Amino acid sequence: MSEFTHLDKDGRVRMVDVGDKEQTKRVAIAKGGISMSKETLDRILDEKVKKGNVLEAARIAGIMAAKKTHELIPMCHPLNITYARIDFSPDIEKLKIEIEAEVSLTGKTGVEMEALTAVSVAALTIYDMCKSYDKAMKISGVYLASKSGGKSGTYTADAK
């Protein structure tokens, strides 16, 4: 990319003007994970965490975060998200919960930041609800797995 779109000709920060862009269906999927002790993972899966159902709280937090990304990340446009999904895949052997977020809309700008924010906040919520049991939990591997729509078309990350 030869030009930073969030800078004007004098190097000042600006929000990109998407007013003339065509509306298209845009979808982004982000992934990440949180590792923890066996005891903490067992508590989460058995719903024995004192603060409540960890995964459902994290699901709600992730979806709310996707909707509020423009309030957190400078230069993000406020978007009328039409769909958001957060799924969790516990990996008993690796002592990890994999997190996947999908966000979509029909609009003039993509939802990559919204999906990445959703995964990150879902992981942070798991940490927050379980930190009294396990301060050594590690959030890692947050990345854009795929996106479609818009001028740049489709992107799929290399298999990890």
Pairing of strands 138-148, 24-35: antiparallel
Q: Which residues are tagged catalytic? A: 128
Q: Which of 64, 79, 49 is nearest to 149 (CA)?
A: 79
Residue pointed to by tokens 């903490």: 40
Bridge partners of 87, per DSSP, are 100
Q: Which of 151, 143, 78, 72 is nearest to 112 (CA)?
A: 143
Structure tokens at 38: 């066996």
> What is the full DSSP assignment across 65-102?
HHHTHHHHSTTPPP----EEEEEEEEETTTTEEEEEEE
